[in-house]
Structure 1
Amino acid sequence: MPRAGRPVRARAASAAVAVVASALAVAGLVSCGSDGDKAGRPAFSERPTAPDTASFSGEHPSSVASAAESRIASAQASASSAAASASAREASRQASIGAELERSRQAAEDALKGVEGRGNALNEVGMTGKPRADTNGLLTVVVTITNKTNAKASYAARVDFLDPSGKVVETQFVGAEDLAPGERKQSVVISRQPPEPVLTPRLTAAQRY
C-alpha cells in the first residue's frame, strides 16, 4: 500500500500546481485588460474648453442681416435714382427736339407766306413715300432738300395731303436753314389723319430764301 499511495499524492500535487497557475494566468489577463482599457480610452477634461472667439465678428446674426438689407436698399435706391435721372434727360432731349422741329416748321411756314405759285426751288426739293408696313400703317413721306446753288441758302417746303376727291385735308411745312452749297437735309412728314380714306401727299411749293 505504501508504494501504491505515492503516485496518488504526486498526481494531487500536480493538480494543485495547475490550479494555482491557472488562477495566476486569469489574474494576469484581468490586470492587462484593465490597463489596456485605460490606455485605449482618450483623456477628457472635466471642464469644457472655452471657444476661440478671435475669428468671431462679435455681431449678432440679426445685425448682419439688417446691415445686408440696408446695403441692398441703398443699391436699389441708387439704381432707381439713376434710372429716373436718365429718364429725365431723355424727356428733356425729346422736348428739345420737339421744340426745334416746331421752330423750323414755323420758320418754313413764314417763309412761304406771300409766295406766288409753287416757289423757286421745286427742282431742289424731292419727296418719296415710305411703305405703310414700315410705319405702323401711318402715311409717311420723306422730304429731301438739296442746295444746288453756289451759295449758302435756306429752304421751305409745303406738303399737302389730298383725299380721293382732290380736296386738301391737311397741310404741313418743313424747312432747312443755312445749307452749304451741295449740302442735303432730309425731313420726315407724317400725316395726322386717319388711315381711311387713303390720302395722297403732294409737294405743293418749295422756296429758297
Structure 2
Amino acid sequence: MNQTSPVRRALGGRAVRSLTPVALAAVIVAGTAACDSSDTSSQGTAKSTRTLSAEPAASPTATESQRTQEDFAASVSADVERNRQKAVATLKGVEGKGNAVEDVSVTGLPVAAEEQFRSALVRVSNRTDEAAFYAVRVEFVDASGKVLDSVVLGFPDAPPNRTVSQHANSRKAAGVKSFPRIAQAERS
C-alpha cells in the first residue's frame, strides 16, 4: 500500500523539494495540526507533540583573527629579544663563569657547508625548587680556540627540577669548522 502524506499530495513532489527548510517546516507543522486535531486519546491522556525546527540556511562562518602570522612572529621575536637583553644585563655584573655553569650543557648541531649559520642546542637544568631566570653566553670557537662569535640567551621562568632548551645561532661562525662552548651561565 502506497501511503503518501497529505502535505505531499497537496503540494506535489516537486513543490516539496523546492521549499526552503523554514517553509517546509511550517508546511509540515500546519499539515500535522490539520490531520491530528485531537489533543487526547480514548483514555483521556495527552498525546506527545513533536516540534520540528528548521535548519539554519547557512552555517555560521568562522571569523578570522585580527592577528596575522607576521604579528605572531613579531610578538615571539619581541619576547626573545626582551629575554636576551635581560640576559645581557644579568651577565654584565658576573665575574668568571657564573653560578650556573654546571646546570647548562651545549651540543653543536651538524650543518651543511652551504648553510648560513652555525647552530647549537643549549640545555638548562633547573635543579632548584623554584622557577628561575638563566642567562647563558655561548661562544663559537674555531679549532685553535679563537672565539668567532658570542651569543647570549635568556631562559625565563625555567621550571624547577626540569630541563629547558633553546638554539644558539651564529652567522659569523657559518661555513667554518667551529665548536660551541658555555662561556658564562648565571641563575637569578
Scaled by the length of structure 1, the TM-score of the pair is 0.53
The aligned residue for residue 187 of structure 1 is 166
SS at match of 1:116: coil
Q: Report which of the two has the higher share of strand.
A: 2
- Pair 1:118 & 2:101 matched: no
**Counterpart mapping for 1:1-209 below 5 A:** 89-133=68-112, 136=115, 138-193=117-172, 195-209=174-188
- CA change 1:198–1:147 in 2 (3 A) is same
CA distance in 2, matches of 1:194, 1:116: 26
Following TM superposition, by how much is the alpha carbon of 1:121 offset from its aligned partner in structure 2, in angstroms?
0.5
192-201 or 152-161, which moves further after superposition? Answer: 192-201
CA distance in 2, matches of 1:138, 1:132: 8
CA distance in 2, matches of 1:207, 1:197: 29
Following TM superposition, by how much is the alpha carbon of 1:176 offset from its aligned partner in structure 2, in angstroms?
1.2
Q: Report which of the two has the higher share of helix.
A: 1
Runs of 4+ in 1 over 6 A off after TM superposition: none
Q: What's the CA shift string for 1:99-156, capped at 9, x where partnerless?
A: 11111111111111121111111111111121215x9474210111111012222111
Q: Over aligned residues, Cα RMSD in angstroms? A: 2.5
CA distance in 1, matches of 2:166, 2:176: 24
CA distance in 2, matches of 1:163, 1:172: 15
SS at match of 1:100: helix
Q: What's the CA shift string for 1:142-176, capped at 9, x where partnerless?
A: 11111101222211100011234322221111121
- CA change 1:195–1:136 in 2 (3 A) is closer
Q: What's the CA shift string for 1:163-193, capped at 9, x where partnerless?
A: 3432222111112122231132211111112
Equivalent pair of 2:118/2:169 in contact (CA under 8 Å): yes
Any gaps of 5 or more consecutive residues in structure 2?
1-63
SS at match of 2:74: helix
CA distance in 1, matches of 2:162, 2:132: 10
CA distance in 1, matches of 2:130, 2:76: 27
SS at match of 1:132: coil
CA distance in 1, matches of 2:88, 2:68: 30
Any gaps of 5 or more consecutive residues in structure 1?
1-81
CA distance in 2, matches of 1:132, 1:197: 10
SS at match of 2:107: strand
